[in-house]
Amino acid sequence: MHQPAHPSGIRRPPHRLRTLAGCAALLLAGSGGAAAAPAAPAAPAAIKVNQVGFLPSAQKLAVVPNGAQARFSVVDAATGKPVFDGSLGAAATWDASNERVRVADFSTLRAPGSYRIRVAGLPDSAPFSIKPGVYRALDVAALRSFTLNRSGIALTPAVAGPYARPLAHPDTEVLVHPSAASARRPAGTAISSPKGWYDAGDYNKYIVNSGITTYTLLAAYEHFPAWFDKLALDLPESGNGLPDILNEALWNLEWMATMQDPDDGGVYHKLTNKAFDGMVMPEQATAPRYVVQKTTAAALDFAAVMAVASRVLAPYDSQQPGRSARYLAAAESAWRWAEANPKVLYRQPADILTGEYGDKSVGDEFAWAATELLIGTGKDVYRARALASKTADGTEPGWADVGLLGVVSLAQPGVRLPQGVDAGPARKQLLAVADKLVARWRASPYRVSMGRTDFVWGSSSVILNRAMMLVAAYRVDPRPDYLNAAQSALDYALGRNGPGMSFVTGFGTRTPLHPHHRPSEADRIAAPMPGMLVGGPNPGQQDRKGCPEASYPSALPALSYLDHACSYASNEIAINWTAPLVYVAAALESLQR
């Protein structure tokens, strides 16, 4: 049998090929209509374009290698007939990839259809659609990837299709690690801490990363309720009177609530094995689990998210009696613990080897939690620490930089603020962030906000978190370029990037086949679970030693990406990376036609 070459030159293990045939139907059953197992072309893309497509009214750009041609056309994908002609922009070099490129702008093409970009002398681009609802299946799959990555649940075929699996990680007997011991809960005490999502390619659960992730899903609902009210996810809870995105967020909120020590309000930093598992299915990963060290960052991220959850769930008190009030009380008690323990940073114990999510500065966590608690309670104690602007710098939030999340909450139109709380400064700050991003986007040869130094571990999420800032700014002040720059960020994630790949599993024609994701590697299903965002280019290449079987194709920041399961530094998936994809796809659907 012919073995298709992979975009990175790596051959796929044979068991994947054997299972390819039956996979398309199964995938459709299980993933809400995601693309079938992709047949990856051998040659790297020359013309780079969003491989899913565009809403009719959106700005539409592609990137073309500089050459002899000055013109491009858009052709019907089925017939090859040209439907649009345009001239390419001026050539410029993107130093992140060392490519000299020109931009093709076909924004005025609005007729629904399936198309490719054509430039004489180059292979046609990947196909893409222009149509209303173009990101619906993507948003459904992205959200459902959270469901498929739930811990402590048996996933039935009705819910999970081909990804059905037995109960794993019930986490009803988790041991208190010595680093987390207290008088009432000495080391070795068993506590129950079920549910939650697996963090990423590994099966552990981390409060800090749950913080920004859960916030992002809650904010997506808070900002775009009409979109999500109609987005059915076929969850076990569907039909219970809550929008499905909130049902999914609740799965993790319920876990987070168990991570708080009821005796003192402190919050354990993580729930984990001692060491990372092998590439096995969740039900095969049965090592003992521990809760490890209470930290200030965990308490504050917990406080912020619980305060947001309290406000978002308040209208659902008849379906979830008392939950909103309980979450606000939990948030306040975590805050009090943090005030009494303001500098407890995470220190990895010698016998624990899993992810750290260690953060050396917690000023931004204090500001975020104070802001959400101020919105929720109006109490003076939170006023002083809310939104100290020094603690919300930078152009995008991240798991260790959460200050801007508070800025977004406070700046949002429609959020009910207590008397005397002024959204003005937050709005000003948000617009300043968006202006900075628009300036970078406009000056970029690729028309993306990413420069050489932005390609860190999880770079795909950097640009999508920036898109979340741009969208939030657009809701305050609807300047078209805020939305255009956000569209470009999604275009980047879906193909207008250095490797010319969609970084979302199952979406686009060139898309990751081997994410560092244990179930996707171990399940013997050809395609990885759909809807997950991989970390993307990362010249740090921190996995080089662990990856002897393959090597990165390039050291250039934007090209330092390896579609191999060993590459946890460029090809892992993570909940905090997929979450802004959920937000941005929903935003572009809601704000464009």
Residues that bind ligand 9MR (CB under 6 A): 200-202, 276, 355, 546, 568, 572
Site string for ligand G3I, 438-477 (x = CB under 6 A): ------------------xxx-------------------
| Among 292, 287, 290, residue whose Cα is nearest residue 277 | 287
Of 248, 301, 543, 572, the one binding ligand G3I (CB under 6 A) is 572
Taking CB within 5 to 8 Å according to partner kind, which of ligand 9MR, ligand G3I, none is near residue 540?
ligand G3I
- Beta carbon of residue 457, minimum distance to ligand G3I (angstroms, whole number): 4
Residue 71: its H or E element:
strand 71-76
**Helical (H) or strand (E) element with 580:** helix 575-591
246 near 229, Cβ under 8 Å?
no
Site for ligand G3I contains 362 (CB under 6 A): no
C-beta separation of 111 from 130 below 8 A: yes
Site string for ligand G3I, 406-445 (x = CB under 6 A): ----------------------------------------
Which residue type is seen at 72? F
The reply on whether position 199 binds ligand G3I by CB under 6 A is yes
Report long-range pairs for 342-351 (Cβ below 8 Å, ≥24 apart).
342/296, 342/366, 343/296, 344/293, 344/294, 344/295, 344/296, 345/295, 345/296, 345/297, 346/269, 346/293, 346/295, 346/297, 346/298, 347/179, 347/293, 349/177, 349/178, 349/179, 349/292, 349/293, 351/274
Whether 356 is a known active-site residue: answer: no
- Site stretch for ligand G3I (CB under 6 A), options 6-14, 101-109, 146-154, 349-357: 349-357
From ligand 9MR, ligand G3I, none, interface partner of 457 (C-beta below 5 to 8 A by class): ligand G3I
**Sign of the CA dihedral 356, 361, 364, 368?**
positive
DSSP assignment of 371-435, as one string? Answer: HHHHHHH--HHHHTTTT-GGGS-SSS-BTTB-HHHHHHHHH-TTPPPPTT---HHHHHHHHHHHH
Q: Which of 21, 30, 466, 47 is nearest to 234 (CA)?
A: 30
546 is in the binding site of which of ligand 9MR, ligand G3I, none (Cβ under 5 to 8 A by kind)?
Answer: ligand 9MR
- Nearest CA among 300, 221, 308 for reference residue 265: 300
Choose between 261 and 543: whose C-beta lies nearer to ligand G3I. 543
User: What residue is closest to ligand G3I based on CB?
Assistant: 355
Number of neighbouring beta carbons within 10 Å of residue 3: 11
Known catalytic membership, residue 202: yes
Site stretch for ligand G3I (CB under 6 A), options 98-106, 242-250, 350-358, 482-490:
350-358
Q: Cβ of residue 536: shortest distance to ligand 9MR, in angstroms?
A: 14
Minimum CB–partner distance for residue 296 and ligand 9MR (Å): 22
The binder of 302, among ligand G3I, ligand 9MR, none, by C-beta within 5 to 8 A per type, is none
172 binds ligand G3I (CB under 6 A): no
> Burial code of 25-50, b = ≥16 C-beta within 10 A, e = fewer?
ebbeebbbebbbbbebbeebbbbbbb
Active-site residue, 564 included: no
Site string for ligand G3I, 501-540 (x = CB under 6 A): ---------------------------------------x
CB closer to ligand 9MR out of 109 and 280: 280
**Closer by beta carbon to ligand 9MR, 202 or else 481:** 202
Q: Catalytic: which of 202, 301, 364, 523?
A: 202
Nearer to ligand G3I by Cβ, of 100 and 452: the residue is 452
171 as an active site residue: the answer is no
> Pick from 452, 305, 463, 465: which is nearest to 398 by CA?
465
Amino acid at 118: R
User: What is the binding site for ligand G3I (CB under 6 A)?
Assistant: 199-200, 202, 355-357, 400, 456-458, 540, 542, 568, 572, 574
| Positions marked active-site | 202, 516, 563, 572
